[in-house]
Amino acid sequence: MTPRDHPVPGGTTPRKHLASGDATLHRPELDFLWQTVHGRLSSGRPVTRVRLGPLDETQREALADLLGLDRLPDPRPSVALARLEEAVTELSGRTVREVVAELIGPLGDRAGERRRHEDERAGLWTWLAGHDTVRAQPVLADWAASCRATGLVGGSAERTRSLLTDALKVLAELPGQAEPLPVFAARVLNGHAHALDDGTPLSTLVMRALATLYDIAPPQSAAERRALWSRAGVADDELSATVVAGGLRPAGDGLLARVARLCTEAGQAASLTLAQVRNPGDLTLPAALAPYVVHVVENPSILALALRRFGPDCPPLVCTSGWPNSAAIQLLRLLADGGANLRYHGDFDGEGIRIAAYVLDKVRAHPWRMTAADYRAAVARNARGPHPGRITEAPWDAELAEVMAEHGTAMVEELVADVLLEDLAALVGSECSSGRL
């Protein structure tokens, strides 16, 4: 006789002769059954049969007794859940789910948990891609994509979102205010002075974002990381960080107002330190010039050409000298807070578009002759220039990046200097005719 044909010792045991249904359900020999059923029911998926085994002799006997079998089941049986439900209900008046929850613990829903985690992950990356800082500076979309490729911190969407939120806070505060890194970190991150220390997850995340923003390789050494922080305005020196401007005529007796006026009256540019801009003293913009328009350019050569042409009558003009440092951003914010309307122009190349997006985001400036139509006009008037490099989207003109990629040529600011100077000349003419110059 094979084991499958072996009768249960004592023959068939009618249900009504069992001393206690619960005693049967609690038999240690059935632990394997409840553990397996608990696992299957916790999967969150439909269950019709439960595969068991391999079972030893006592486990097979216990299963046969539970199900009312007159023969031992196979060592690896497949039990229909409906059959098990019938047996359990007959013995205890409860369902299989109720019994396994009592014996093993609350049932889970692994499929539901997976869906929830997948939804959390999808929501996290959608949130990051649509964040104001990323949308305002489209090059950061590459950084966001790299964060997604890296995956969750510790497998947790919540921890990852918290870390990314801190990184975005830091990026929104850059360039810094000539503070040491721990001071900057404490100010931005609720007193956590060491959150941006070298090697911390947050520092690494911000370094990757800055490298993406400036289109450089991620820093590999402590010296390179310090240099990148300095480029972003953290630990900048209040005296070495400067910004040049011309044509500014602020009222007031503060040092910044007096220096700017004296330089304008002499037809010269003012080189203003971060210390002077951070502590301007008494300074107001002329109410008679409302709206007070300040044009902002990327390259010092444009400011030099404007001063050469207009001299003491030069309209208000600020130069960022490429990527704006702490002094440039602080001055532009000071002017904007005073009521100035900032209008920005830069190079038509990949980096120039990224700088423009950065300035527009940081100081509420508006683009000045930076549309796809302006680029086409520049290409039509000039010889083919160098390759524009990596092109990212321009938030102010959805067509610009596509047109630049199509033409494949850079148009630096100096090539359109005559157009920019004519705009400034029109402004000078209107000011002179109104008697405000």
How many angstroms separate the CA atoms of 193 and 189, rounded?
A: 8
Sign of CA dihedral 378, 380, 385, 388: positive
The pairing of beta strand 242-246 with beta strand 366-367: unpaired
Tokens 């010092």 appear where? 300
Tokens 């503070």 appear where? 179
How many angstroms separate the CA atoms of 314 and 312, rounded?
A: 6
Residue 214: band (very low, low, confident or very high) from pLDDT cuts 50, 70, 90: very high
Helices (H) and strands (E) in the chain, counts: 20, 8
Same domain, 93 and 142: no
Give pLDDT, residue 42.
87
Question: Taking every pair of C-alpha atoms in the chain, what is the biggest distance, in angstroms?
Answer: 119
Residues 6+ apart with CB under 8 A from 149: none
* 8 lies in some domain: no
Same domain, 425 and 344: yes
Of 68, 93, 108, the last residue of a domain is 108
Residue 115: band (very low, low, confident or very high) from pLDDT cuts 50, 70, 90: confident
Same domain, 24 and 119: no
Of the listed ranges 35-49, 120-134, 300-314, the least confidently predicted one is: 35-49
How large is the average pLDDT for residues 225-245? 89
* 5 lies in some domain: no
Q: Strand, coil or helix: what is 320?
A: coil
pLDDT higher than threshold 90 for residue 394: yes
Ranges assigned E (strand) in 119-197: none
The residue range of the domain holding 136 is 111-231
Tokens 């199900």 appear where? 67
8-state DSSP, 288: G
* 429 lies in some domain: yes
* 9 lies in some domain: no
- For 235, half-sphere exposure in the C-beta direction (CA atoms, 13 angstrom radius) is 12
Task: Report the phi/psi class of residue 190: left, alpha or beta, with left for phi > 0 and alpha for psi in -120 to 50.
Answer: left
Residue 29: band (very low, low, confident or very high) from pLDDT cuts 50, 70, 90: very high
How many angstroms separate the CA atoms of 42 and 54, rounded?
A: 21
How large is the average pLDDT for residues 188-199? 94
Structurally, the chain folds into a number of domains equal to 3
Same domain, 254 and 319: yes
To the question of pTM greater than 0.85 for the whole model, the response is: no
Outline where 297-349 has alpha helix (H): 300-310, 326-337
Percentage of the residues of the chain whose pLDDT score is greater than 70:
92
Of 231, 264, 285, the last residue of a domain is 231
Higher pLDDT residue, 430 or 219? 219
Same domain, 143 and 211: yes
Q: How many CB atoms lie under 10 A from the CB of residue 96?
A: 22
Which is nearest to 432 in space by CA: 318, 268, 315, 260?
A: 315
Q: How many CB atoms lie under 10 A from the CB of residue 262?
A: 11
Same domain, 310 and 418: yes
The token pair at 435 is: 């008697």
Higher pLDDT residue, 140 or 288? 140
pLDDT higher than threshold 70 for residue 108: yes
pLDDT higher than threshold 50 for residue 52: yes
Same domain, 201 and 261: no
Of the listed ranges 101-110, 141-150, 254-263, 322-331, the least confidently predicted one is: 101-110
* 6 lies in some domain: no
Task: List the CATH number of the domain containing 354.
Answer: 3.40.1360.10
